[in-house]
Structure 1
């Protein structure tokens, strides 16, 4: 098909500052998981869709499909929308003591 460009699970970005592979970066309204390290001004590839194990606030997730948000001030996922950016949903339940959780990224538009 002549109009198809790519699947869109990953995109290329130009780093505003240093980025490290696997460390989430908020780019506009999308949480990006860099696939490679990059210095400021360099281009890097990052995932914008998929399920990732990410740092989380100490909250229990009773089920899948609970809305999740990125708390940029603390660099972690939370269920609180207050002042945070919606990034996806829970992909598995977790107990409050867990400091990481399975997160399904859903790009915002």
Structure 2
């Protein structure tokens, strides 16, 4: 990963022992702006990402359906405005919808 968003992802992962994989995904198209690579590569498919970002269109329904990333289904016990908290066993996901700039 070079500068820009790639550098942001690298810094995020280097500064937190709890984050194993990370990505910055565009809304509403699900395009990948940056992702973790190598051993800790973020491997969600294009289809998963498009479906995932569309969850923000009706975020209040996400706890009843859960979400899927990297072939794993997560229950979503909590949402908060533009935040999605997912969990499965001892792992989980956290996603935030923001505006770049």
TM-score (norm 2): 0.25
TM-score (norm 1): 0.24
Instruction: Return the structure number with greater strand share.
Output: 1
Instruction: Return the structure number with greater helix share.
Output: 2
Bigger relative contact order, structure 1 or 2 (CA pairs below 8 A, ≥6 apart): 1
